[in-house]
Chain A
């Protein structure tokens, strides 16, 4: 395996980690505020569909992105209404959102485009282009001519869509918000002991809604990235469990932003390896392609079961806040 191949795998890891990272950070905001969000998957899917559909119709990927975010935030609002305002069970609300998104996206896609529950292929301005950073090569033939540093720059660092860079920026931003701002202090407090926040005269409902809506924005970005950058259009169930893998990454990351980045890069790497080596031959035995496709998920389970150690979730997680006395 030569150096460039390794770089290509890492490059692909980064691309595949991006939707995971955005969803994972979405979960981080929500769960740090004490609202479990098992509906990340549904929100990604809804955002993927609406961003692709609107980008195709309008011809602008930016309007598409906006539509994806709005769709995802609408589902977030629903989750907030059910689990914060009406104090319903957060898991059930999340599961309902997943079913809702899985069904509605396909039905609406069929009604609008009549292509068997998918959107038409996106091209041109309806898709996010890869950004070639100054001084970087974009064609693989040219990259192969460069030295190692140049290869790293051109292959790994340059050539991603804007959302990849945005996602990477959101990691330090999230850290800063959580640990350096008043909002972050209150957000963390409301996930640990909402009664403390309430008696301090700060609205628990307001904080939790803010967190859930931020999660909606981030899931919207994740979904839009899937449909308009990583792929060119929406297909049925294209989120492929990423919302759940993101939750696993969140636990692995112990609800911390920088750890979330590492966890998502690791899971993205599993994905990239699984994608690249579809046909491995061990002597006479050919490893089935299905196994390689399942491998990232199997590795996630192994990592979660074996490597996590003690992960303490926010203490008020999953509990609707009821004022006592």
Chain B
């Protein structure tokens, strides 16, 4: 602990993939026993840099120094030997193995399993007490919550004696409460002398937990600053290269007549009732935000309203006229004809057809439009022209209509979906996770579009697991838990704590007690 050499020092790391330079001459130094944040937009090169540090990629040039010693890391084994552990954004766990099996995988003591498992079980108990990482060693991974699965990932690294922990977007899948617990664990690890590198795009988390922070932009490390000496707006500006509005700028809503009315809606999927009798209304010029941890019925709500699945009961009206929710006489297309636009939660499986080109994706759902058709044939020129126009107005980059959807970055994919669904100014817009995996610049843009649509007097149903987003955009907030609406709040009369409790299913009386 007394060595003054930095835990990690990178000198002049460069890495190219073909013509793309993912990392350009990056130098970085992280002191022992600190938490260092790395921020940057998607594609800025954060993940590439960490993959080099973990031995997944080999740098074209540059040196890695660990604890003051030059340490080449040609593969993951060398990284593990050097005391580096990585918790990936998508967990690398074997889902039908137990916790203890996952922990020992690759770090077994001998050819036989029994002694390894016995030893690991004992060590896990010790580790989980030492760091507050409570997890049942014999639980099967797929039965655990994501928060617990993440603990297993951390335990896995500690079991391998990792001194340096890299966490890639660790809070993306966690509830606010789970994220808080994670941060407490990280602070504990730091107090024990571990060095932590945290990759995130959530500036609030950087401010809350890191000691120093590096900003990456277009493959370069542009700044490294002490967290205490910076601010979120300053970091955002360093990331994007221009001033960014973090707070959504909007005027108070002026709701008028009711657009959508939902009464006692019930939806079952796979024999389980996922939406258990919910009622709400949305008016013109209003954004209703639905907060909640993923999997509490929001997806089913959006899909029923969007005409993708059938409801098992209830009544839904648009401007007072009933909407068919039995799935017999309606689908996504008839919904669109009635003025309901739908930006689905998962753009890659529901919003886009990934191998198809942008102009095709921009026309989907509206491909029967008269202006895209001439006689029995489709008018490709008109569709492409329409796509070029939308790409310009929605700032899709690169503005190439012939590029397959999968070749766009997450933010630009989302802009394609948003352009398709919002450009026709639907009376009601259903929008799920509008900015999941989207970088700050694109988030700002999409948020502005949503507010602009509201100001045109349209109604918007926003579903998001990001509380910041819900609180910034919504005019009213409803919290869903276990298929019920736990309550409605006005954004200026509530806070993250109260909403977080409601998201966890704590009712007001329990919360007060």
Contacts and interface: CB of A to CB of B under 8 A. Distances in A.
Interface of A: 179-186, 188-189, 192-193, 195-202, 315, 323, 325
A181 B111 CA distance: 6
B331 interface: no
B121 to A, nearest CB: 15
Most buried by B among A185, A202, A315: A185
Interface stretch (B89-97, B376-384, B499-507): B89-97
B112 A202 contact: no
A198 B56 CA distance: 9
A323 B112 CA distance: 28
Given A189-B105, A201-B76, A181 B94 contact: no
Given A182-B111, A185-B105, A193 B95 contact: yes
A24 B451 CA distance: 61
A325 B47 contact: yes
B455 interface: no
B108 interface: yes
Contact of B76 (A186, A193, A198): A198
B88 A199 contact: yes
B303 interface: no
Interface of B: 47-48, 51, 54, 56, 75-77, 79-80, 86, 88, 92-97, 101-102, 104-108, 110-114, 116
Contacts, number: 71
B105 A200 contact: yes
A199 B56 CA distance: 8
A197 B105 CA distance: 7
Contacts of A201: 75-77, 79-80, 106
B112 A192 contact: no
B75 A196 contact: no
Contacts of A189: 94, 97, 105
Given A181-B111, A186-B105, A200-B106, 4 more contacts: A189-B105, A196-B93, A200-B92, A200-B107
B94 A199 contact: no
B76 A182 contact: no
Contact of A199 (B76, B104, B112): B76
A77 B332 CA distance: 50
B113 A196 contact: no
A91 B95 CA distance: 25
24 contacts: A180-B113, A181-B113, A182-B111, A182-B113, A186-B105, A186-B106, A188-B94, A189-B94, A192-B95, A192-B96, A193-B93, A196-B93, A196-B102, A197-B106, A199-B76, A200-B76, A200-B80, A200-B92, A201-B79, A201-B106, A315-B95, A315-B96, A323-B56, A325-B47
A325 B48 CA distance: 7
A11 B266 CA distance: 59
Nearest to B48: A325
B75 A192 contact: no
A197 B88 CA distance: 13
A186 B101 CA distance: 10
Contacts of A196: 92-94, 102, 105
Nearest to A192: B94
A182 B56 contact: no
B69 to A, nearest CB: 20
